[in-house]
Amino acid sequence: MMRGILRLVLALFYFVAGIFHIIAPKPFLSIMPAWVPAPEAVVLLTGIAELLGAVGLVQWFSLSLRRATGIGLALYAVCVFPANINHFILDMAQPDGGLGLVYHVPRMFAQPLFVWLALWCGGVTQWPLRRRHT
């Protein structure tokens, strides 16, 4: 029950994020590390990946597709982490401290949680919530 609810929440999160990546890419472009080639294309492709990931999580006809989606979204969360770090660095360098540590520190800790959540919601892992057999 809880996995199904969190799968829907995660899918909604990625669906909304995907839409924003496509229709309003400017904020995402502003945090893109300088070493990323073709940043506009990368933001567009990440939006498409998020939309596909959302659909893959909520589809009901293929558990193997859902598992593959969980792995894909976990890898996605790892791949976008440099942009989050870059955003942290750029924002904290602002004279006013930008959004501050209250925003950035939880965001940094949330990234590994998103990796785990994608794997758990996709049915790739049961850890640490598997039932113990006695």
The answer to whether the beta carbons of residues 31 and 87 sit under 8 Å apart is: yes
Contact 121, 3 (CB under 8 A): yes
Instruction: Report if residue 40 sits inside a domain.
Output: yes
Q: How far, in Å, CA of 40 to CA of 38, rounded?
A: 6
CB 67 within 8 A of CB 124: yes
Q: Is residue 90 part of a domain?
A: yes
> Nearest Cα to 84, choosing from 61, 107, 65, 106?
107
pLDDT digits (tens, 9 = 90+) for 80-127: 999 999 999 999 999 998 999 999 999 999 999 999 999 999 999 988
Range of the domain at 51: 2-121
Is residue 130 situated within a structural domain? no
Q: Is residue 132 part of a domain?
A: no
Q: Where are the alpha helices (DSSP H) in the chain?
A: 2-23, 26-30, 39-58, 63-79, 81-92, 101-121
Please check whether residue 111 lies inside any domain of the structure.
yes
Q: State the amino acid at position 41 in one-letter form.
A: A
* Count of H-run helices and E-run strands, the chain: 6, 0
Q: How many domains is the chain partitioned into structurally?
A: 1
Does the pLDDT of residue 134 top 60, yes or no?
Answer: no
Specify the pTM: 0.89
